[in-house]
Amino acid sequence: MSRRPLLALAFALGALGGCFLSANPPPSFRYNCKIDGDCQVLTCRGDLIAIPDADAAGLQLAEDCDEVLEAEKNKFYEARQACLDGLCEYPCELSTDVCPADKGHRLCFNGTCATACGYDDERFPNPDATCSQSQKCVLFGDDIELALIEDLFGSSSGSGSSNGGFGGGGSGSSSLEDLIGTGLCGIRCDAEGARACPPGQYCSGAMCLPDCAHENATPCADSAQCYAFGGFSTCIVKCDPAGENTCEKGEICVQGLGLCLSTCLGEDATTCREGLTCSEELAICVPEDLPADTIGTDTDVSDTEAPTSETETSG
C-alpha cells in the first residue's frame, strides 16, 4: 500500500471534476471474454498485446514505466487485464496506481478501473450507451449520493486552490454539483449477480467502500490483516520484521505490528498529516498524543471496533 487507501480514493474522487468534464469521449469499449487469456496487457510502449503472446515473450510488470529505458519498454507492461463479468477489465482494489489513466481508466470502481460516462449528452443522450453491454452508467447524484463523496473528500468552495475541492489541476475549479449527470461505466455492487467487493470493502449501495472492520466487508486476504487506525480501517499486507523486506517501495515492516506501512523516513518518505508525527523508532506516522509506552509494543488491531461513518480524510 503505497498511500493511505482512503486518501487514494479521495484523490481519485477529487480528480473527477477535471477528468469527467473534459471533451474526450470515454474509452469505454471492453472486449468480451471467457478466460483471462482472451484479454490483453498494456505495454510500457502503450501497445496492447494478447496475454498469451505477452506471456510467451516473457513480458514483466514494471513498477514505473517512466523509469524503463526506451529500448526496454517492449519487455515490460504497465497493466494486465482480467476477464471479469465476461469483459476484459483492468482489475484494482482501491488505489488508482494500477489503472492506466492515460487510457482513460482514472478511477477504481467496484474492483475495476473505470471510465467516465454521461457528460456528453448531446452525442450520447442515453449515458448507458457509452458503456459496454452488461454495464450501466452509474451516476453521481442518483446512484451515488453526492453526500457520500462530500463525506470522503469535502465539497469545493469554488476557490480553485483548496485541497478539499474538485479541481482537476487546471485553471478552473469544479463543485460537487458539476458531477450530477456524470458517472462511471460499471456494475452496481448491489446488483443481482454482482461480484463481491474487493477484500476489505463493503457494498454501500452502488459503490464498494473501504472499511474492513464493517460487518459486511469482504474479508481481507490471508496475506493481509484488518488494521484500524486514525479513523479508517483497511487491509494491510503482513510481513516479518526479522525477515526479508517484502513491503512495497516507500513502506516499512513495522516492528511490533508485522504490517507494511508507509514510512516517514528515508528517500521515499511520506509526509505526516496534521495531528500525526513521525516516530523515529517505528519510522511511521503516529498520533501526536500517542502514549510513549505504546510505541514499539505488540498491538492486536484485527478486532478493532469499526470506525464511525465520519471517516477522517485529508486532502
Q: Which residue type sits at 137?
A: C
Contact at 8 Å (CB) between 235 and 200? yes
Catalogue the long-range contacts made by 260-263 (C-beta closer than 8 Å, 24 or more residues apart).
Answer: 260/1, 260/236, 261/1, 261/236, 262/1, 262/2, 262/3, 262/4
Rounded Cα gap, residues 211 and 218, in angstroms: 9
Nearest CA to 231 among 260, 274, 176, 282?
274
What is the SS3 assignment for 217-256?
A: CCCCCCCEEEEEECCEEEEEEECCCCCCCCCCCCEEECCC
Three-state SS at 114: strand
Structure confidence at residue 127 (pLDDT): 83
Rounded to the nearest 5°, which phi and psi values hold at 9?
A: -65, -45
Rounded Cα gap, residues 150 and 128, in angstroms: 25
Contact at 8 Å (CB) between 169 and 18? yes
Contact at 8 Å (CB) between 249 and 242? no
Three-state SS at 73: helix
Q: Which residue type sits at 53?
A: D
Residues of the chain where predicted confidence (pLDDT) is lower than 70: 1-28, 96, 149-176, 230, 290-315
Contact at 8 Å (CB) between 89 and 109? no
Contact at 8 Å (CB) between 127 and 138? no
Could you tell me the three cell numbers for 140? 453521481
DSSP secondary structure of 180-218: TT-EEEE--TTSTTPPPPPTTEEE-SSSEEE-TTSTTSP
Could you tell me the three cell numbers for 305? 471496533
List Cβ neighbours of 73 (8 Å cut-off, separation of 6 or more).
Answer: 43, 44, 45, 65
